[in-house]
Structure 1
Amino acid sequence: MSVVIKLSTVTKENYESVCELDVLEEQNDYVACNMWSLVESQFNDGYETRAIYLDDKEVGFFMWVLETPDKISIWRFMVDHQYQQKGIGRKALDLALNEIKQVSGLKKIEICYNPKNPVAKSFYSSFGFNEIGMDEDNEDMLAIIKL
């Protein structure tokens, strides 16, 4: 029996479970709070949120933002600490990128990550993200996929 990884819109039925997801303490500097992200998404246009499911259980969270008509930025991506190192994040990012690429007129997908994050560069580059340098605040590495 194989497990099923899927993405689903965050709704009033699942937002509490998404808010309870957490990373390891040493990862807290790399990931924003899911509750804050959900608040942001309710009050700003162009924000999309998805719960990552393992079978029927919420195990992670995505948020991406349509920043311009041709650019989407992945602002949030996390997998709960209990479900890390199981390939869930890899499958979930693949699903998210496939969904994002359906947006008409899209030319670029970007993601930022802490350059001190030990796994981020190789993980994201395996999906085709290319580092282009530090972001405008000079805090995070910016990587893009050109479509």
Structure 2
Amino acid sequence: MIKIKEITKDNYFLACELTTNKTGEPTLYEEFICSNAMSLAEAKYDLEMEPRTIHWNDTLIGFFMYKEVTEKQVMIYRFMLDYRFHQKGLGKKAMAAILEYLKNEQDVLLGVDPKNDIAKSLYQSFGFQFTGEINHGEHYYLLKR
């Protein structure tokens, strides 16, 4: 079962240790996303950002961060699963849990590196569609709800 939890003093460091790098070594900038440590620093100074951890049963497996853009739209700024949990079907379960966690009446916007075919496929499987907007090299996808 996937659970979404708030970042606390007890789990922030564990969240920072998660990585998408196959070597298991967290880096500041990973292949398609910046590190969770960078995201938590961003959330410290942009108080509208909402960082969360993703757990599978009692195991911390991932991280995401979102921000309410308007009353009708929320943006997911980060979404990652630790490399140890890739290719286990957990990405799809985690995204389903995130969408359930967010307000159902809000559209969901996110950006994705155009070279990240796995992420694009995942998002499209939930109904996200490319908006045509590109910002800082990221392609924006929108889920209308």
Q: Which residue does 1:143 correspond to in 2? A: 141
Q: Distance in 1 between matches of 2:47 and 2:69?
A: 9
Q: Is the 8 A contact 1:38 1:49 kept in 2?
A: yes
Q: Which residue does 1:37 correspond to in 2? A: 39
TM-score normalised to the size of structure 2? 0.88
Shift of 1:121: 2.0
Q: Which runs of 4+ in 1 moved over 4 A?
A: none
Q: Which residues in structure 2 correspond to 1:69-88 (within 5 Å)?
A: 69-88=71-90
Q: Please say if 1:123 is aligned against 2:125.
A: no
For structure 1, the 5+ residue unaligned runs are none
Residue type matched to 1:117 in 2? N
In the alignment of these two chains, the number of paired residues is: 140
Percent identical among aligned pairs is 34
Q: Distance in 1 between matches of 2:133 and 2:120?
A: 13
TM-score normalised to the size of structure 1? 0.87
Shift of 1:11: 0.8
Q: Distance in 1 between matches of 2:120 and 2:126?
A: 10
Q: Distance in 1 between matches of 2:63 and 2:94?
A: 9
Residue type matched to 1:141 in 2? H
Shift of 1:97: 0.6
Output the aligned Cα RMSD.
1.9
Q: Which residue does 2:20 correspond to in 1? A: 23
Task: Give 3-state SS (helix, strand or coil) of 1:119's partner.
Answer: helix
Q: Which residue does 1:112 correspond to in 2? A: 111
Q: Is the 8 A contact 1:112 1:142 kept in 2?
A: yes
